[in-house]
Amino acid sequence: MSCKEDRGTVKVVDGKYKPSGKFHYPAPNTPIKDEKGKLLGITNPRDIVHMHSYGGEAIFFESLGKGKLMATKCENPDCETTGSIYMPFRIFCPDCLTRNKVIDITAKAKKNAIVHSFMITERTGAFNTLPTPIKFVNVEFEGVCTILMGALIRGEPKIGMRVVPIFRTKKPDYTILDLLWVPADWPAKDLPEGYTY
Amino acid sequence: MITFSDRQLKIPKMTKPVYLVTAGMSKFARAFPDRKTEEICIDAFTEAANFIDMTPAEMKKYIHTCYYGHFADHFGDQLLGEAAIHDRLGLDPLGNIGVKTGGATGGSTLWEAYKTVASGYSDCTLALGWERMDEVPTDEGNNYISCAADKDWETPMGHIYTGYYAVMAQKYWQVFGKEEESFRRTMAEISVKNHGYGRMNPHAHGGMKITVDDVLNSPIVAHPLRALDCCLMSVGAACGILADEKTAYEMTDNPLRIDLAAGSHTLRAADRRDMEIPLLPNETKDQYRNLDKEFPGGGRYPGFTGFLAARMAAYYAYRMVGIEDPTKDLDLVELHDAFTISDIQTYEDIGIRPYGHGRDYVESGDCYHTNPRTGEPGKLPANLSGGLIGCMHSVGATGIMQVTEVAQHIWNRWGEMHGDEAKWERFGREKPKDWQNLQVKGAKRGLAISHAGVGSHVTCTIVQHPDHVLPGGMFE
């Protein structure tokens, strides 16, 4: 239905979205009939593109392509949980609602990230781009109060194992998939194409 | 939040008691290629009216406000679907609103209808829920469901919601289940039980006579979960009519008391922070002091092993109605068995067993209609409808189906509503030759848990026979 080569693009000019190119490739409705040929309904195919703002999280997604893992920290001295570090990145502290400070935890993640839990599945939803079986790992970082979910792209997951982040630094697509995980000490020559430590 | 103020922990106190007047359900199925959503909703509405010997037109005369539970507009490909159903039910110009809280949508819809009556805004409200999950291919359906996860941080990873859930199952399996074969078999036993009870329910589309080994040999979805550990994907509708005392007794001689409370927790399991366990009336602080020693890795609360939202829904609801011990004070429960393992987790969240010991509820036989270990009635039968595993999970309807099922036991009409030959025939289903009336004898009080996502929203509904209302509740 869609043609990637001609896919439209979007820019922001003067604070407004400016789509250009072709986004929609109409496809005909087709009838749905039973075994006897009786009409029951129709298919409604269509191709939709959303324009989505990352807002205050944009720095996180932009940093992945530069090989950096950015977290946030509450530095409000009056907050009951001041000093808490959040990964996943939270723009605001969930307790005092002051804007968190963005901090770089790449070195910490490379040194002490471990698997809190994991799962392996062959099943995916439509539009999945990860290879199957998909292996999710929930990654704990020392000193971070939350637990990040990610995909382990090499090796077999186990609770308590050390993992390290890898980043799609060549042609990042600016999604969470620019960040993947591999077991600690995994050889750099065996990383997926485009990814680096 | 990881600490709570007294104001936040205040037990809700309604201004007047609320009654469940009637409830009804459609047939549930994987697909209805020959029926529009309104036809299914009208089936549920008509069953509710007929249950109290009214016509739909007569019952409509009492309704003042309408709540519609419909989780995913994507599935029905219809924004403002509530308006369409409201119009087809002929309920214009009454005020109505849609409710969307994922898997808890049905429970949340009842919650809103309940508060509307309790506040005095309406004498009588309709809570009706449905889901249309058959009109996209399964992989697109999985993609839509995955959109209920965080779109930037989770959804791109596989577009598979089961995966986001399975990491919690894995953690519970390893920490509290200790990866024991016996624990795995206990999980499977829940599936056998619920598929088996589904066979006795003409509304259900997951009834199956299976064994523990069948479950253990079913295809792996995400270890340790296999296909028969997982809930169904369904289409169907359910509805309930709630009213104040005067109106309820004008509509029927047998309304039931109903009360609801709700809790919540993070959309992403990733964002859960460590906190103290909020205690239920049948728990003491000391009992969890050594949880981490007894179950290494189990000290983080709720971590990935508990559902704070379920705990808080029970925290409020038990104190609202005076429940001190759910196993003693209740006669049956309908729990949100999205997966066998989350069923076990919920036993702990709502205090049927302490944290770490949920498996005992199954292994003791307490969760059965008839305890297979003793041959005696189960102490607290669970999911006699078949639950989400054996009956249905038509998301917006599920929480209302659960309450309907609980109520039919308390009305002592479960056998009539599930054994009727004409209903089996109308639904195109064969009544099993070994059909069993699962009516819980003398049922006076029951509970239903409606649960969303990885635990983002949970409601706890308590239904009581008005002659057997517990002491210690909010109206005492």
CA-to-CA distance for B377 and B117, rounded, in angstroms? 36
Partner A contacted by B218 (CB < 8 A)? no
Instruction: Name the residue in chain B with its Cα closest to that of A33.
Output: B33
Using the beta-carbon criterion (under 8 Å), do A125 and B33 form an inter-chain contact? Answer: no
B55 within some domain: yes
CA-to-CA distance for A1 and A24, rounded, in angstroms? 9
Query: What residue ranges in B158-273 does DSSP mark as E strands?
Result: 220-222, 225-226, 235-243, 256-264
Instruction: Name the residue in chain A with its Cα closest to that of B220.
Output: A121
Partner A contacted by B296 (CB < 8 A)? no
Take residue B344 and report the two structure tokens written for it. 């076990």
**Beta-carbon neighbour count of residue B209 at 10 Å?**
12
Nearest-CA distance from B33 to chain A in Å? 7
B6 within some domain: no
Take residue B427 and report the two structure tokens written for it. 């639904």
Nearest-CA distance from B334 to chain A in Å? 28
* B144: chain A residues, CB-CB within 8 Å: 125
Partner B contacted by A30 (CB < 8 A)? no
pLDDT value of residue B133? 87
Nearest-CA distance from A187 to chain B in Å? 24
ipTM of the complex: 0.87
Nearest-CA distance from B228 to chain A in Å? 15
Nearest to A119 among B146, B163, B273 (CB): B163
CA-to-CA distance for A109 and A114, rounded, in angstroms? 9
What pLDDT, in 10s, does the model give residues B233-242?
999 999 999 9
pLDDT value of residue A5? 61
Contact B320, B12 (CB under 8 A): yes
Instruction: Name the residue in chain B with its Cα closest to that of A44.
Output: B77
B451 within some domain: no
Provide the β-strand partners of residue A115: A139
Instruction: Name the residue in chain A with its Cα closest to that of B33.
Output: A40
Q: How far apart are the first and last CA of chain B?
A: 32
pLDDT value of residue B73? 86
* B296: chain A residues, CB-CB within 8 Å: none
* A138: chain B residues, CB-CB within 8 Å: 167, 171, 269-270, 304
Closest CA to B66 of B52, B87, B46, B44: B87
Q: Where are the alpha helices (DSSP H) in B279-434?
A: 291-294, 308-321, 326-329, 340-349, 359-363, 387-390, 395-410, 414-419, 421-426
Instruction: Name the residue in chain A with its Cα closest to that of B2.
Output: A95
* Burial of B283 (C-beta count, 10 Å sphere; 0-12/13-18/19+): middle
Using the beta-carbon criterion (under 8 Å), do B169 and A176 form an inter-chain contact? Answer: no
Partner A contacted by B145 (CB < 8 A)? yes
* A86: chain B residues, CB-CB within 8 Å: 271
B94 within some domain: yes
Partner B contacted by A13 (CB < 8 A)? no
Nearest-CA distance from B31 to chain A in Å? 13
B38 within some domain: yes
Closest CA to B415 of B446, B440, B387, B439: B439
Nearest-CA distance from B135 to chain A in Å? 9
Nearest-CA distance from B219 to chain A in Å? 10
Write the DSSP symbol of residue A101: E
B293 within some domain: no
Query: Which CATH number characterizes residue B63's domain?
Result: 3.40.47.10
CA-to-CA distance for B33 and B26, rounded, in angstroms? 15
CA-to-CA distance for B284 and B78, rounded, in angstroms? 49
Q: Do strands B65-69 and B95-99 pair parallel, antiparallel, or not at all (unpaired)?
A: parallel
CA-to-CA distance for B108 and B222, rounded, in angstroms? 29
Nearest-CA distance from B409 to chain A in Å? 38
Q: Is B419 helix (H, G, I), strand (E, B) or coil?
A: helix
Structural domain total, chain B: 1
Partner B contacted by A34 (CB < 8 A)? yes
Using the beta-carbon criterion (under 8 Å), do B156 and A129 form an inter-chain contact? Answer: yes
pLDDT in tens, chain A (197 residues): 444 567 889 999 988 898 998 888 888 999 999 999 999 999 998 888 889 999 999 999 999 999 999 999 999 999 999 999 999 999 999 999 999 999 999 999 999 999 999 999 988 999 999 999 999 999 999 999 999 999 999 999 999 999 999 999 999 999 999 999 999 999 999 999 999 99
Of A59, A118, A119, which to mutate for an interface test with B (greatest number of B Cβ within 10 Å)?
A119
pLDDT value of residue A2? 44
Partner B contacted by A20 (CB < 8 A)? no
Q: Chain A to chain B, count of Cβ pairs less than 8 Å apart?
A: 141
User: Which residue segment(s) compose the domain that B82 sits in?
Assistant: 19-137
Using the beta-carbon criterion (under 8 Å), do A117 and B170 form an inter-chain contact? Answer: yes
Instruction: Name the residue in chain B with its Cα closest to that of A141.
Output: B270
CA A52 remoteness from chain centre: 14
Nearest to A149 among B34, B169, B270 (CB): B270
CA-to-CA distance for B462 and A189, rounded, in angstroms? 59
Q: Compute CA distances B162 → B142, B159, B343, whole Å.
A: 9, 9, 15
B70 within some domain: yes
Low-confidence ranges of chain B (pLDDT < 70): none
Partner A contacted by B274 (CB < 8 A)? yes
Nearest to A117 among B150, B168, B271 (CB): B168
Nearest to B152 among A57, A134, A136 (CB): A57
pLDDT value of residue B76? 82
pLDDT value of residue A4? 55
B278 within some domain: no
Which B-chain residues 58-77 have CB contacts (< 8 A) with chain A?
A: 77
Which domains occur in chain A, in start order? 57-196 (2.40.50.140)
Nearest to A120 among B145, B223, B297 (CB): B223
pLDDT value of residue B476? 76
Closest CA to A184 of A169, A165, A162: A162
Using the beta-carbon criterion (under 8 Å), do B157 and A151 form an inter-chain contact? Answer: yes
